[in-house]
Structure 1
Amino acid sequence: MEEKRKEQETPVTMPMLALRGLVLFPNMVLHFEVGREKSMSALNQAMKNDQKIFLVAQKDVKVEDPGEKDLFRVGVVAKIRQILKAQGSTLRVLVEGDYRAKMLRLNDAGNYLEATVESYPLKTPRYPRTALCDALMRTVKDMFEEYCYLTPKMPREMIVNALSSEDPVYLGEYITANIPLNVEEKQRILEESVIVKRLETLAGILENENNILSLEKDIYDKVKDQIDQNQRDYFLREQMRVISEELGETDNPIEEADEYMAKIDKLALPEESDQKLRQEVERLSRVPGNSQEAAVIRTYLDTCIELPWNTATKEKADVARAKRILDADHYGLAKVKERILELVAVRKLAPDIKGQIICLVGPPGVGKTSVAKSIARALGRNYTRISLGGVRDESDIRGHRKTYVGSMPGRIINALKLAGSKNPLILLDEIDKLGNDFRGDPSSALLEVLDSEQNSAFRDHYIEIPFDLSDVLFVTTANNLDAIPDPLRDRMEVIELSSYTREEKFQIAKKYLTPKQAKRHGLSARTFKLTDDAIYALTDFYTREAGVRTLERTVASLCRKAAKQIVAGEHKKVTISGKNITEYLGPHKFRPEMVEPKNEIGLVNGLAWTSVGGEMLQIEVAILDGSGKVELTGQLGDVMKESAHAAISYIRSRAASLHIEPDFYKTKDIHIHIPEGAIPKDGPSAGVTMCTAVASALSGAPVRYDVAMTGEITLRGRVLPIGGLKEKTMAAYRAGIKTVVIPKENEPDLAEIDPVVASHIQFVPADQIDTVLKTALISAYESRCVPPELAAAPRVKAGEISAPQEAITQ
């Protein structure tokens, strides 16, 4: 015994074997297999000596040839009890732990490993066992007993040995050695020298294991119950299938129901939706397969299952890429492109942002629909379009209830099905053309669709289960913003697309329309050429529109005529210029929209806004001897008629200062006429034009031909603001107007004027009609008719400040 104690205290060198995934404790027996050459050589060397070998666990089981850094420092010196030859070239070894030892250094003896080790005994207390130690032993036993309950396959004798032991060292080592723990946890207990800390560590490990085993047991019980329920359902369905076959029914509702159930399982829907669809499947399994009710249920289930509940495209929030796409698809439209790039930038920083609904407003043919397509391409979203023109039934938006014959989902759900993803870009085209009748108001149904606070659970009347529309990017288009109901307009951000200028039409036709149509008609640059002066001739003499739709059709017509000449062998290459374009399109359809360079009495250039852009509106006034009648011709609406009467009343109140006969309303008849009488005209922007024309006709003062004006008038001579200034000024620019009189309150709108227009036109802000008269009437009349206290009317460029007013907010 004394020799053994001295042996343990003195460092000794002995063969060493690295254990993979195993930890041996003193006084414990361990079986393991040995397959590495160095390990076999170490066993042979130990058997030649005193059958003692140092066993230590390696840190990583994947290392085939471990070094000193790959091994733990603390192990056990064991006695080899038995070596058996197993299958192949492996050995099965039985060892018994002797005492705990610490490796001082590792020596590679060539064909085996040997280590210099010294004994590493536990720190035994100098006093009798404490109450803390007893408490820890009880805790460990309780936890081990719970562990055995959660692990029913534990051997009974092992449980008895552990629970009956009163030795804290034996208890800690015996439990640790006989339960499946990872190497790090077992090694931590082996290396711990203080008995109390060893028991604390084991208690913590057992508590964690018990929690995990409890969760596993709960999961197992739930899975078992589910499997039992599925087996029961399967048994019953098989019985129904056999009964159906015995009755000679060709359709098998059970198999069909199983297919639907499998599809519903793949959707992983919320509980409410999942339960609703499963109820419908159960109904389908109970009704005859060839009945009308079964057909209705099948259609409903197919519609719901085909919806993209969990399918979404990956959004590409790249500002540079989006800019390239927009520039490649569209010329100009700087304001629209800037807003779209802002949208892309925000999506980059905040991908989960909701509620961005854009409304593109502008005349036909300016590219509203194509802009929406470009937005979808720039964001990497699927694109689908819904035409709302003429929609009068609320069911077109929300769908029909299943109780109706021929019921179907609404256009929103259909669009999602066509798009194939839950986050597409849906274009609601012509939203200002919505109607309503006794079947409902579709614009009211759109309020929920376009409200980010409500559309996260949009319920179509047909599918009856909520669908999340918050990921959909809605873009709407309209020609006239006034036709959109106010509650619906309040939910959208309006971006206006104005009419194209002559230069913009030229660039669009040259860079986009001509190459596109030439390719469509089989032409190339070697066979077809449209010169610049020919494109200008198209925009000036053959098309008169705000957009470029007619321009594109005219270019297509030229391509067809060129293709005919090439196929007929008349020409190998067709070049169309401004000189020979009449040979292809005939005489000019329009003359240039230029004003006559002549000052006339009673003829004033007005500016009007229409759904296709701005246009010149000349107003003529004739003064005749009579009894004071006022004649209005030219299909004027109520608003313009009221403006004419207000203008005459104002002139009567200022007749003396304007040097007009005070009794003209008794002795003269006034005839106000607007040419193109077949076209109805109305709007609150012709008051100043009518007042100027009447004042000119009554006083005999000519009106400057290069001046145009817009604005409404009051009885006191105030000039009221108007809308559509950008389109109106563009019409003035096309007609060659040099000066435009605008209401003073519209001065901030000059910041939105097209740069080409702003550089060619001077703007005169007017808050009183006297400023308008001073600007429009020639100087001889000004010096004679306008009151001397009026200052000269200031003329400003767009974006400048007219003194003494405050700066315009850009």
Structure 2
Amino acid sequence: MAQAEMTEERILPLLPLRGLLVYPATVLHLDVGREKSVRALDKAMVEDHMILLATQMDTQIDDPMPEDIYTVGTVARVKQMMKLPNGTIRVLVEGIERAKILDYTEEDEWFEVRAEILNSSFHANPEIDALVRAVTQQFEQFLQVSKKNTAETYAAVADIDDPGRLADAIAANLSLKMKDKQAILEAVDVTERLETLLQILSDEREILELEKKISQRVRKQMERTQKEYYLREQMKAIQKELGDKEGRVAEVEELRAQLEQADLPESVYERVDKEIDRLEKVPQSSAEGSVIRTYIDWLLALPWKVEDQPEIDIHRASAVLDADHYGLEKVKERIIEYLAVQKLVGEHRGPILCLVGPPGVGKTSLAKSVAHALNRKFVRISLGGVRDEAEIRGHRRTYVGAMPGRIIQGMKTAGTMIPVFLLDEIDKMASDFRGDPASAMLEVLDPEQNSTFSDHYIEIPYDLSKVMFITTANTLHTIPQPLLDRMETIYISGYTEVEKLRIAMDYLLPKQRKAHGLTKDKLSISQDTMLRVIREYTREAGVRNLERQIASLCRKAAKMIVAGEKKRVTVTLKNLSQFLGTQRYRYGMAEQEDQIGVVTGLAWTEAGGDILAIEVSVVEGKGRLNITGQLGDVMKESAQAALSYIRGRAKELSISPEFIETHDIHIHVPEGAIPKDGPSAGITIATALASALTGRPVDRRIAMTGEITLRGRVLPIGGVKEKSLSAHRAGIQKILLPRDNQKDVDEVPESVREKMEFVFVEHMDEVLRQALK
């Protein structure tokens, strides 16, 4: 048996090795560059040239600590030192004997350790002889499988008689993991060392044999693939001779048949033919083939010449528009004009309309009705939040997963060159580093350019000039001016109360009854009740919330009927609050009696018109002017202009010229929580000031609106229709309007015009004569 013997303890400088291990009786070159290692080397050269070589556990650590270094290393003699040009020192060392680190005596400047020398002696016996023979045999087989070491290596190792040195020499010639090499170094007992090496050699040989099998299998697979490719090409040639059509050949033949049947322009025909030729030459397994095939499919699927020729019937179109939407006369008139021109000219040239208005007024549904009226295909895309130019123009085919833009996709969906194409929410497009889609839309919507629209994917100019484009927007200020210039803008300001009532009774109520499984017999709502729903439970320009309230009534009625509470539900003015709760909104009513300093004005909001009471109070003071009611700058300036006009006309109005120095004036517009602005309250404020300063009451039956100048001229304003309806609703009998607004009265419903008197004024003097009693 081998017997381990412990020798003396020695103090030695320590050189940590990184990714390297030195065995006894081994000569090796080392490159030393770390400062601690260089100082340890100098220490060894000054003394007896002896140094301890120990491997560090982690090669990534540049400055190892004692706990990072294995405790068993090799005492070596430094035989030669040479400084290289890069500052590194190359050292030739010879391993002498194993040693175990007991403790570190120096760690700061260099490593110095107290080490125990480990020597091993053995007595020859059959077990060691058997181990030596097995290790030598395994090493020979390992060299044959690996083919990395030469025959001289085996010969040099086989001549070693000492079993311990034999194990060290074999381990030094193996490419092993560092932990395996260290295990052999730490095996002081020769028997244990040979057994460890035998196990490692056996494992490594098995791994090498497995790698060899895998390599042979892969090579055979490659040979089989090449053979299959050769046979497949032969099969193609045979199929071509026999006329059989399979695989790529059949695909190309199918595409050529589709090309001959398709009605394409000459330039498109040539392009598709060229792409089919390319597809035929591309190998079946190539990814480029699918890209070419997809491109060909798009070119063949697009309508290049397809034009539906529906017979133009103006009367039918008018009837369809009236059946789908109540009011909106301007839009309907524009569509009928377009149809009349098409009927006379005989060719299609699509207009580009932009419907602008608040939410819920029916812009999108109107576009559908237009397509229905024209008997054309309808395509809709939403542009809200689109910020990538490629969404409009498409991606170039060099990109993976490239596709045409939304315009070309919509044309493919339509299947015709003359659809009605709705571009919804065009005011909500954005731009960022990916491009500016609003600018890309210029080519789509410009009548002079869209006949040759260029999509990055299709690459062939496409004719969009015959498409009827309809765009929708809530506001115009977010649409770029060049884009807005290409479109014909039609404003949909919203519905009046009369229109909302007609829409609710004729459209929304029947629709919601049907949706909730009700009939006229099961649910009835009178016009007066519906009018109260409109006035007290909704405040909007459109009818979206009104439809929600009607749906709520239908749901509650359905519940009552199903629960057996009632067989028939009638919603009246008295029980309306039981269904919808207390009223949510209030609307203005005319004053009950003539008052001094209080005038009824008219205001326009996005939810329609309303009346606005303006109050003026005059008290003794020092001439201060207070304006309250959360008024905007324009309205405050109107108040200043009105006051200046009254001061200028003080003598004619029998007002003391010194009133401005002896009295404080307070102008207030009620509902102070609601912001108000605009110039149309100018004559109303001036009348209230004149009434308060003269002590003459204002006729409560009169309402007015108009802008005032310092000279007293009355300038025109907007929203005449909505303001007139609100005045009629509030019980006003006479309205004072600027003379320049006389043309706008035609838009007021005839039923309202018959019950109200419209007085047109040019100067403030006329207003005061009419209003002051």
Verify same fold: TM over 0.5.
yes
Q: Say if 2:701 is the partner of 1:706.
A: yes
Aligned 8 A contact 2:496 2:608 in 1: no
Aligned pair 1:522/2:517, yes or no?
Answer: yes
Q: State whether residues 588 and 612 of structure 2, in contact with CA within 8 Å, keep that contact through their aligned partners in structure 1.
A: no
Q: Aligned equivalents of 1:560 and 1:663: distance in 2?
A: 66
What does the per-residue CA deviation read over 1:753-777, in whole Å, with 9 as the maximum and x for residues that have no partner?
221221222222222222223223x
CA pair 683-404 structure 1, distance change in 2 beyond 3 A: farther
Aligned-partner Cα distance in 2 for 1:469–1:339: 21
Structure 1's 642 and 305: CA in aligned 2 closer, same or farther, altered over 3 A? farther
Task: Confirm or deny that 1:450 pairs with 2:445.
Answer: yes
CA contact (8 A) 1:316 1:378 kept: no
Q: Answer whether contact 1:479 1:611 (CA < 8 A) is retained.
A: no
Separation in 1, partners of 2:699, 2:466: 57
Does the alignment pair 1:696 with 2:683? Answer: no
Is 1:615 the counterpart of 2:610? The answer is yes
- Does 2:512 correspond to 1:509? no
For the pair shown, the structure with the greater C-alpha radius of gyration is 2
The one of 322, 325, 339 equivalent to 1:327 is: 322
**One-letter code aligned to 1:578:** L
* Partner of residue 631 from structure 2, selected from 631, 636, 651: 636
Percentage of matched positions with identical amino acids: 57
Q: Do 1:363 and 1:613's aligned partners in 2 also have CA atoms closer than 8 Å?
A: no
Contact 1:624 1:668 in 2 (8 A): yes
Q: Is the 8 A contact 1:313 1:380 kept in 2?
A: no
- Structure 1: stretches of 5+ with no match in the other structure: 1-236, 246-250, 780-810
Whether the 8 Å contact between 1:361 and 1:495 is mirrored in structure 2 is: yes
Structure 1 residue corresponding to 2:268, chosen from 270, 273, 278: 273
CA distance in 1, matches of 2:766, 2:432: 49
Residue 755, structure 1, aligned to residue 760, structure 2? no
Aligned match of 2:43: none
**Change in 2 beyond 3 A, CA 1:397/1:745:** farther
1:352 maps to amino acid: E
Give the Cα–Cα distance (whole angstroms) in 2 for the partners of residues 479 and 585 of structure 1. 29
Q: Distance in 1 between matches of 2:235 and 2:651?
A: 103
Distance 2:502 2:427 in 1: 30
Q: How far apart are 1:281 and its partner, in Å? A: 4.9
Q: 1:567 aligns with which of 562, 565, 568?
A: 562
1:536 aligns with 2:531: yes
| SS of equivalent residue, structure 2 residue 759 | strand
Aligned partners of 1:330, 1:717: CA distance in 2, in Å? 43
Q: Distance in 2 between matches of 1:315 and 1:544?
A: 41
1:545 aligns with 2:545: no
Residue type at the aligned position of 1:724:
G
Residues 399, 462 of structure 1: 8 Å contact kept:
yes
TM-score, L = length of structure 1: 0.59
Cα distance in structure 2, aligned partners of 1:436 and 1:521:
43
Counterpart CA distance in 2 for 1:740 and 1:242 is: 93
Q: CA deviation at 1:244?
A: 14
Task: Give the secondary-structure state (helix, strand or coil) at the position aligned to 1:466.
Answer: coil
User: In the superposition, relative to structure 1, how do residues 627 and 292 fare at CA in structure 2: closer, same or farther (>3 Å)?
Assistant: farther
Specify whether residues 489 and 759 from structure 1 end up closer, same or farther in structure 2 by C-alpha distance, changes over 3 A only: farther
2:413 is aligned with 1:425: no
Aligned-partner Cα distance in 2 for 1:297–1:736? 72
Deviation at 1:425, TM superposition (A): 0.9
Structure 1 contact 287–293 (Cα < 8 Å) conserved: yes
Q: Secondary structure at the match of 1:741?
A: strand
Structure 1 residues 344 and 291 mapped into 2: Cα distance closer, same or farther (>3 Å)? same
Q: TM-score, normalised by structure 2?
A: 0.62
Q: Return the match for 2:675 from 664, 680, 693.
A: 680
- CA–CA separation in structure 1 for the residues paired with 2:253 and 2:663: 91
2: CA distance between counterparts of 1:701 and 1:291?
A: 94
Offset at 1:321? Answer: 2.0
- When residues 728 and 392 of structure 1 are mapped into structure 2, their CA distance, relative to the original with a 3 A threshold, is farther
- 8 A contact 1:449–1:469 mirrored in 2: yes
SS in 2 for 1:703: coil
Instruction: Provide the C-alpha distance between the structure 2 equivalents of 1:769 and 1:547, rounded to a whole number of angstroms.
Output: 36
**Per-residue deviation, 1:284:** 5.1
1:720 aligns with 2:715: yes
CA distance in 2, matches of 1:704, 1:532: 32
Contact 2:589–2:611 (CA under 8 A) maintained in structure 1: no
Whole-angstrom CA distance in 2 between matches of 1:458 and 1:696:
65
Change (3 A) 1:625 1:734: same
Pairing partner for 1:598 from 579, 593, 597: 593
Superimposed CA distance per residue, residues 436-471 of structure 1 (whole angstroms, 9 cap, x where no aligned partner): 566655444444333333222222333332211122
The answer for the alignment partner of 1:198 in structure 2 is none
**SS of residue matched to 1:682:** coil
AA aligned to 2:470 is V
Report SS of the residue matched to 1:617: strand
The answer to whether the 8 Å contact 2:501/2:531 transfers is: yes
> CA 1:714–1:286 in 2, change beyond 3 Å: closer, same or farther?
farther
**What displacement does 1:748 show?**
1.9
Match of 1:384 among 363, 379, 384: 379
* CA displacement at 1:380 relative to structure 2: 0.8
User: Deviations for 1:555-602, whole angstroms, at most 9, x for unmatched residues?
Assistant: 111111122222222233333333333322223333454223233333
Q: Partners of 1:437 and 1:648 in 2: how far apart?
A: 50
Contact 1:382 1:424 in 2 (8 A): yes
One-letter amino acid of the structure 1 residue matched with residue 700 of structure 2 = Y
Cα distance, 1:352 vs structure 2: 0.8
Distance 1:555 1:638, change over 3 A: same
Q: 1:540 is paired with a residue of what secondary structure?
A: helix
2:725 is aligned to 730
Which position in structure 2 is the counterpart of 1:773? 768
Cα separation, 1, equivalents of 2:586 and 2:607: 19
- How far did residue 662 of structure 1 move? 3.0
Match status 1:368 vs 2:387: no
Alignment gaps of 5+ in structure 2: 1-231, 241-245
SS of residue matched to 2:604: strand
Residue in 1 that maps onto 2:221 = none
Q: Alpha carbon RMSD of aligned pairs, Å?
A: 3.5
SS of the residue corresponding to residue 559 of structure 1 reads helix
